[in-house]
């Protein structure tokens, strides 16, 4: 049986899925798992396609101290206990920079280009690339495919892409990239099944999780995003501030004496819901709290989402549908209600009963704009790109991707 391994790695966890394939187009999920608590309390859990447990094992912290060792541990379990020897590995990579607008077969040149983008995604890029290095060392002939969160947004117009700074910086790669593209691409495809009446129209999608953004789709293509050059822009997130006047950063450096690295650390780790509430970056904890700071953080999040919905509706020249997705968007009925209230002026009318039941269609029949809750599946999207890129690589090695 042919299989594809999908890897989505972070600083303290490695999520993975295994898909059976015919090597052409068919994909069937077999295993879904995660190695969490890397370096502290490493724990490997995995489930079969029906949700049945396959393993739940805790390791000594010293034996799984980093992401590279974690992927080795996962790989050993898949080979030795599940007899999984994938024909390719697909990786989520947050930043593709100006060079990559599609999935690519990874070689040393591609890795070197991607490592140069670490400063633009310091929370994500190093951890996205560590498993690739680890696998290349142990299995140099195993094809690995990079799938980029920025690629889906490369359809933006120049007007949407540029910053109003001297033009030469655009040539250097300083532009609005947008992120969460794998999620948006999946939702764009799912709309043809869930809501065919609006799939080719003007839709705003809210990917709301610890990392959060919103995207304007027209005919299933991204035309605008709340995120830009880095993953700090747009909506407030779990620990990141979202849109912030650049003068604030200059003030912190020049007047408060903070170093650039300390400001960067604060912006990525201490802001957003965590910074506003002083309690947590987790919406579930904030919703359960009676602390007024928690309520304020949640109100702020909803308020900013409402503002960006208006901005994206303007970019589209109108709106025909709105979709909630990702961890918060799929699971928090309270946050969906808060945000939907901000969309009333656009003609949105949420159905409290359908919303509480986490239905796919959560708007009233009379709502001018239908509201949907659609589960995203970035791993399936990565598997599809991996299979397609693998097939293409048999014809011609596309190691450099399409250079935009």
Tens-place pLDDT, residues 209-225: 999 999 999 999 999 99
Task: Determine if the pTM surpasses 0.75.
Answer: yes
Residue 403 has pLDDT above 60, yes or no: no
Cα dist. 114→30, 96, 141, 306 in Å? 30, 7, 20, 34
Tens-place pLDDT, residues 28-67: 999 999 998 888 999 999 999 999 999 999 999 898 988 8
The span from the first CA to the last CA of the chain, in angstroms, equals 37
Tens-place pLDDT, residues 88-108: 999 999 999 998 999 999 999
Residue 385 has pLDDT above 50, yes or no: yes
Residue 404 has pLDDT above 70, yes or no: no
Give the whole-angstrom CA distance, residue 43 versus residue 59: 6
Cα dist. 59→39, 67, 136 in Å? 10, 14, 24
Are 380 and 29 in contact by the 8 Å Cβ rule? The answer is: yes
E-state strands within 194-233: 202-208, 212-218, 221-225
DSSP string, 45-101: EEEETTS-EEEEEE--GGGS-SHHHHHHHHHHHHHHHH----SEEEEEES--TTT-S
Which residue carries 């007047």 as its tokens?
Answer: 255
Mean pLDDT score, 370-384: 96
Are 95 and 124 in contact by the 8 Å Cβ rule? The answer is: yes
Tell me which of 149, 233, 320, 351 is the catalytic residue: 149
149 catalytic, yes or no? yes
């Amino acid at each position: 049986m042919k299989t594809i391994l999908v890897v989505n790695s972070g600083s303290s966890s490695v999520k993975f899925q295994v898909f059976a394939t015919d090597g052409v187009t068919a994909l069937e999920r077999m295993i879904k798992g995660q190695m969490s608590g890397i370096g502290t309390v490493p724990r490997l859990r995995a489930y079969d396609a029906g949700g049945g447990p396959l393993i739940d094992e805790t390791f000594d912290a010293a034996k799984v101290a980093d992401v590279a060792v974690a992927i080795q541990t996962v790989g050993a379990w898949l080979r030795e206990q599940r007899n999984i020897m994938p024909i390719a590995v697909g990786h989520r990579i947050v930043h593709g920079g100006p060079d990559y607008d599609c999935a690519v077969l990874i070689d040393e040149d591609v890795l070197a280009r991607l490592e140069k983008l670490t400063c633009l995604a310091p929370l994500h890029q190093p951890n996205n690339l560590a498993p690739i290095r680890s696998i290349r060392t142990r299995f140099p002939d195993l094809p690995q495919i990079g799938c980029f969160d920025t690629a889906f947004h490369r359809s933006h117009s120049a007007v949407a892409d540029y910053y109003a700074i001297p033009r030469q910086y655009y040539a250097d790669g300083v532009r609005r990239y947008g992120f969460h593209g794998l999620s948006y691409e999946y939702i764009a495809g799912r709309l043809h099944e869930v809501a065919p009446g609006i799939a080719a129209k003007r839709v705003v999608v809210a990917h709301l999780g610890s990392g959060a953004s919103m995207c304007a789709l027209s005919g299933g293509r991204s035309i605008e995003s709340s995120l830009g050059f880095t993953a700090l822009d747009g909506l407030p997130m779990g620990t990141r501030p979202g849109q912030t006047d650049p003068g604030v950063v200059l003030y912190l450096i020049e007047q408060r004496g903070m170093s650039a690295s300390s400001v960067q650390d604060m912006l990525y780790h201490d802001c957003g819901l965590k910074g506003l509430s002083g309690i947590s970056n987790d919406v579930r904890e904030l919703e359960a709290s009676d602390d007024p700071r928690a309520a304020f953080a949640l109100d702020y999040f909803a308020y900013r989402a409402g503002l960006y919905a208006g901005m994206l509706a303007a970019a589209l020249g109108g709106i025909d549908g709105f979709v909630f997705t990702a961890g918060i968007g799929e699971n928090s009925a309270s946050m969906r209600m808060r945000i939907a209230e901000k969309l009333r002026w656009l003609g949105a009318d949420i159905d409290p009963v359908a919303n509480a039941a986490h239905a796919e269609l959560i708007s009233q029949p009379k709502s001018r704009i239908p509201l949907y809750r659609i589960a995203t599946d970035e791993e399936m999207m990565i598997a599809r790109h991996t299979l397609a890129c693998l097939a293409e690589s048999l014809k011609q090695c596309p190691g450099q991707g399409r250079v935009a």
